[in-house]
Structure 1
């Protein structure tokens, strides 16, 4: 058999049946390397029929010195890292290639599966997390493809976490060989016989010839859209990055928007707020990350999410060198709570006056027992400052900032408290021309082919939109036929 066909089984196979099917395939052959939690994945293959058909070698280089001797040193002297996982995968597939003759076994499909995991500690202070991945071939002698993911472990015992890891490991190997024609399906199949509240995937990347047409940013979007995780991030190269690594002990400044497209208004908000943020005494520029955030609501248009529209926005942000976060945090206090899991350093939110008005709208906090007071306690309890960008009242021409913003009389004292304590900082050196820009109108002008929109966006953005024909409405099937 030169190529593994797509799985067409009607029902979800049991874990034992998945292992049996893999073991009975005479051409699938590989190594299992599992560090940290134990050999929780490979044991399923040993318990199924014909394990010798699949298992070339299994090891657990649990001792750090022994692990370093095999796979080399991690640059940061850590073990539960993506770098360590990739080193394991590459090393093990290299050994298979060296030791198994292609002349004798021309149809073999080699793979290496690996994980490096830290389960919950005895004090239950750290819940546990880990990296797992597979490097594999779908055709003999093909360049290797990879699926690499990071998981957060939410169960309250190491034994239960190990069971969940083992199940997901089997699901991953099976999906690589029998379901990899559809990466979205893979993400669903990773949860066969698992609940997402037990083990959370917060980063996943697909690479190699099997996935040459896969955009990992769409895979990030899918994780959030399906409720697998609350937030994902990707870097300017378009690859998903682990939020915990990007945010760990960092000062974080966040600008939320639709970015459809990035306008001169967005750019001015970013530049002016960054200047104020970096002037804070507690903020070190070299230890600061700036996040451009889009929520699922930002991405929805007429009830759904258009993937091309999302990629257009992502392309523009990535081309400008920005780190992007997609989240399901509609309320700002949830964003702050999320960041506070990863850092105790200074946090900053860049808000327009209209966004601040929304924050002071009590209707958004009806699901909280403490209402708006509970939300504000969560929002401002940590080291948070709001950098407030003014808006222009189109009817009166008045510039509205924190000093003349009107809030509900019942909330005036609460509002005054945060103003007086310098938790809300007015941006004063704003661009008066940028203030006149209405981002929604810019998008409408692009659709209407009104060239004046080009004056309202950065040059790089304008050039990319024109060259790649971004944000254009797709023709209906009827119009295409006519």
Structure 2
């Protein structure tokens, strides 16, 4: 995250002052349920003035049998999950409504806060992670709104992780009541007195009447833009999903692009590369996920990221049933490193021949002490394969694939090594007409109202672009406004 200015730093309330303000608000009243590490958040409220003003109940169902008895059995017999967290805040919110009469407390703003976490283990093999959430009202008797987030711990000591978790819990409760008008600001405020070196938010979802106009995909994008996390994912329904869950022990095939819009070239690359990927003996189709990845650089092609433009692209990908990842990984080897954190299964990258030329450009690896050799050691992780879609030399009409691709002479021997070891697989069942499609030209045709673009994109994509007037000059003007 960007460094705070002196004025911004001075305007941050202390943790104690946040708790005191909440405690002294005669209407804010709720429960704290914290399992896994301890009662990290509520202890701040007990230490501040007037804790009885806010705390209706606090509990730590540390024993698994007690937790199951209160919140029900988890289908997968797991406890640090989003389902467990939602069960906790739903149960406690229902309970407080049952036990406190609205006739007696007509102006109360009820909330239920919960966390379920696993801190670092004694062998320091697992760093730890957890779920935090709050269900709250900003108006009396209002339908509840929710903020649910997942965190990864980066500190190497359980007690330090507990401290960070407690601070973020206070920040979350305070932000829900006093800073929820602007979720982008709220996300930043979760890091008051914290840093991403200590605790990382890699998924966040907002729901309910307070956030009725919030698109959670934009909130995902905000996490990456602010440097809070390296990558976020959302599913075809547009909801943010936890990358660790989506990628865990999966075979992963990924396609990178700007997808502005999705073209027949993108679609054919996806279909042909996936067919080859699934032909591998080790790849189980039922345990395989395909990721369409956009980097921040993809989204910044024309300067600052345009949120409506981003959502247009996301809508097209989601409508076609794809899982989308937004990352700040400029180099491909960083994508592979990221996936390797979550799986030891097969990995595949589908790319065009022009992208492979870029990969063998040394300028991208000067920041590494081991240069391009270090990068390629990380890129071709174990059994990773590149599925190469050919390109057309428009001057000569020649089809360029791995056999005649031109790389710098210094890179030729390294390139041949990976070709000879079957790390680059040519896609031979490509669509010849798709080679003449240039996504940038398609985008310009849409803007200029040239109908020829319709033959260059999938039918559903064309239908949505026309119905919603996506990527047109009128839409661009609307975006700028």
Coarse TM-score class (shorter-chain normalised): over 0.9
Shift of the alpha carbon at 1:135? 0.3
Instruction: Write out per-residue CA displacement over residues 113-168 of structure 1, whole angstroms, 9 at most, x where no aligned residue.
Output: 00000000111110000000000001111111000000000001000000000000
Map of 2:3 onto structure 1: none
| Structure 1: gaps of 5 or more residues | 1-7
Distance in 1 between the 2:456 and 2:328 partners? Answer: 29
Counterpart check, 1:47 vs 2:47: yes
Distance in 2 between the 1:275 and 1:326 partners? Answer: 24
Map of 1:4 onto structure 2: none
Map of 1:394 onto structure 2: 394
Map of 2:336 onto structure 1: 336
Deviates more, 1:207-216 or 1:465-474: 465-474
Q: Does the 8 Å CA contact 1:115/1:130 hold for their aligned counterparts?
A: yes
Distance in 1 between the 2:300 and 2:217 partners? Answer: 16
Shift of the alpha carbon at 1:16? 0.4
Q: Does the 8 Å CA contact 2:346/2:384 hold for their aligned counterparts?
A: yes
Distance in 1 between the 2:315 and 2:15 partners? Answer: 39
Distance in 1 between the 2:9 and 2:395 partners? Answer: 63
Deviates more, 1:468-477 or 1:442-451: 468-477
Map of 2:147 onto structure 1: 147
Shift of the alpha carbon at 1:303? 1.8
Distance in 2 between the 1:18 and 1:429 partners? Answer: 62
Map of 1:245 onto structure 2: 245
Map of 1:296 onto structure 2: 296
Map of 1:25 onto structure 2: 25
Map of 1:429 onto structure 2: 429
Shift of the alpha carbon at 1:471? 1.1
Map of 2:207 onto structure 1: 207
Mapping 1:405-416, distance limit 5 Å: 405-416=405-416
Instruction: Write out per-residue CA displacement over residues 438-465 of structure 1, whole angstroms, 9 at most, x where no aligned residue.
Output: 1110001011110100010011000101
Distance in 2 between the 1:86 and 1:251 partners? Answer: 29
Distance in 1 between the 2:56 and 2:477 partners? Answer: 53
Shift of the alpha carbon at 1:10? 8.1
Map of 2:324 onto structure 1: 324
Map of 1:287 onto structure 2: 287
Map of 1:85 onto structure 2: 85
Map of 2:439 onto structure 1: 439
Map of 1:3 onto structure 2: none
Q: Does the 8 Å CA contact 1:81/1:116 hold for their aligned counterparts?
A: yes
Map of 2:179 onto structure 1: 179
Mapping 1:239-388, distance limit 5 Å: 239-388=239-388
Q: Secondary structure at the match of 1:206?
A: strand
Where do 4+ consecutive residues of structure 1 move more than 3 Å?
473-477
Q: Structure 2-normalised TM-score? A: 0.97
Q: Does the 8 Å CA contact 2:29/2:53 hold for their aligned counterparts?
A: yes
Q: Does the 8 Å CA contact 1:116/1:132 hold for their aligned counterparts?
A: yes
Distance in 1 between the 2:38 and 2:145 partners? Answer: 25
Instruction: Write out per-residue CA displacement over residues 301-332 of structure 1, whole angstroms, 9 at most, x where no aligned residue.
Output: 32210001000000000000000000000000
Mapping 1:434-473, distance limit 5 Å: 434-473=434-473
Shift of the alpha carbon at 1:435? 1.2
Mapping 1:65-104, distance limit 5 Å: 65-104=65-104
Instruction: Write out per-residue CA displacement over residues 367-403 of structure 1, whole angstroms, 9 at most, x where no aligned residue.
Output: 0011100000001132200000000011111100000
Shift of the alpha carbon at 1:196? 1.3
Counterpart check, 1:37 vs 2:48: no
Q: Does the 8 Å CA contact 2:108/2:140 hold for their aligned counterparts?
A: yes
Map of 1:192 onto structure 2: 192
Counterpart check, 1:156 vs 2:164: no
Map of 1:403 onto structure 2: 403
Distance in 1 between the 2:362 and 2:256 partners? Answer: 20
Residues 429, 476 of structure 1: CA spacing in aligned structure 2 closer, same or farther, 3 A cutoff? Answer: closer
Map of 2:5 onto structure 1: none
Q: Does the 8 Å CA contact 1:293/1:325 hold for their aligned counterparts?
A: yes
Instruction: Write out per-residue CA displacement over residues 197-242 of structure 1, whole angstroms, 9 at most, x where no aligned residue.
Output: 1000000000000000000000000100110000000001111000
Q: Does the 8 Å CA contact 1:153/1:199 hold for their aligned counterparts?
A: yes
Instruction: Write out per-residue CA displacement over residues 25-74 of structure 1, whole angstroms, 9 at most, x where no aligned residue.
Output: 11100000000010000000000011001000000001111100100111
Deviates more, 1:377-386 or 1:89-98: 377-386
Distance in 2 between the 1:193 and 1:68 partners? Answer: 34
Map of 1:57 onto structure 2: 57
Q: Does the 8 Å CA contact 2:336/2:381 hold for their aligned counterparts?
A: no
Q: Secondary structure at the match of 1:433?
A: helix
Map of 1:5 onto structure 2: none
| Structure 2: gaps of 5 or more residues | 1-7
Q: Does the 8 Å CA contact 2:448/2:472 hold for their aligned counterparts?
A: no
Q: Structure 1-normalised TM-score? A: 0.96
Q: Does the 8 Å CA contact 1:340/1:382 hold for their aligned counterparts?
A: no
Shift of the alpha carbon at 1:469? 1.1
Distance in 2 between the 1:449 and 1:44 partners? Answer: 60
Shift of the alpha carbon at 1:9? 12
Q: Does the 8 Å CA contact 2:179/2:185 hold for their aligned counterparts?
A: yes
Distance in 2 between the 1:398 and 1:89 partners? Answer: 62
Distance in 2 between the 1:263 and 1:103 partners? Answer: 59
Map of 1:124 onto structure 2: 124
Distance in 1 between the 2:104 and 2:409 partners? Answer: 83
Residues 411, 260 of structure 1: CA spacing in aligned structure 2 closer, same or farther, 3 A cutoff? Answer: same
